Amino acid sequence: MLFGQSDHMNSVGEGCTDLKREYDQCFNRWFAEKFLKGDRSGDPCTEMFKKYQHCVQKAIKEKDIPIDGVEFMGPNKDKP
């Protein structure tokens, strides 16, 4: 995709892109207007995130992308 054609990125799962964009939009608003300002009232994006994850995790399995068991901040643990 060439820049200029779209302002958004595609998901790795071809069918998940719409769900991703919907979630991203919700997240960006929440992050700027609530999270960074210390407002800890509920996260309005939870349901969208669940739907999006359902789709993208399926795509990851189908494509055999090796993310299973990869520890959070994993490889950096043994760095000086």
Of 18, 47, 60, 61, the residue at the interface with other proteins (CB under 8 A) is 60
Spatial distance between the Cα atoms of 29 and 44, rounded to a whole number of angstroms: 10
Q: Among 47, 41, 54, 43, which residue's Cα sits nearest to residue 22?
A: 47
40 binds other proteins (CB under 8 A): yes
| Contacts with other proteins, residue ranges (CB under 8 A) | 1-3, 6-13, 16, 20, 23-24, 27-28, 31-32, 35-36, 38, 40, 43, 49, 52-53, 56-57, 60, 65-67, 70, 72-76, 79
